[in-house]
Amino acid sequence: VGIARDRVAKMRALGATVYQMIAQEHNIPTVGSMTAQMVNESWAGVDSPPTVAQVALIARTGTVMASFTRELFEDWIPNALTAITRKAGGALGVLEDNQFFRLGSGGGPHVSRMTGTVFVMTTPAILTNTEVGKMWRACPQQYRSNAVWLVASDVLAFLQNVGDTRGREVY
């Protein structure tokens, strides 16, 4: 089931941090940004300590259940277990990604969904190559080298419609 889940789940493939839970709730430290300054030699800079906080990581269990008749297993046992295992793992992978990328409200039993960079298009509902470039540049510079596009299927449709002056797809 775990192998089938990992083939489907996108977040795990992107290197999600895995924390070993030692209790039902585990606090994860967070540290905000700092500001660097250029100052004259022997001058003190302006203090810019980061905001230090913590986020509670609460253990949750993703589950998938199905009932089958004894007859099914008696008639189809060699193939049934493989097929059911793959479907169960795939369902858990989809559940995991939906929580991370779309549906996680933070209210139990849901985890909080991941937030990305906010970008407002110049002309709503018209996505151009220029707008996609602006989106990329809206991501802070220190994150760009490892940045990846995580988009829902409806957003992917917009990206696939972005073309050059000859009508060729860009993405």
| Full-model pTM | 0.62
Show the beta-strand stretches assigned E in the chain.
25-31, 52-58
For 37-87, write each residue's pLDDT tens digit: 999 998 888 898 999 999 888 888 889 998 878 887 777 767 777 888 899
Compute the distance between CA of residue 12 and CA of residue 18 in angstroms, rounded to an integer.
9
Six-digit token string for 156: 């992917």
Split at pLDDT 50, 70, 90, the class of 127 is confident
Contact by Cβ (8 Å): 116, 150? yes
Contact by Cβ (8 Å): 119, 137? no
Measured in whole angstroms, the distance separating CA 110 from the mean position of its chain's CA atoms is 14
Q: What is the mean pLDDT of residues 27-39?
A: 88
Cα 32-33-39 angle, rounded to 5 deg: 145
Split at pLDDT 50, 70, 90, the class of 88 is very high
pLDDT at 50: 92
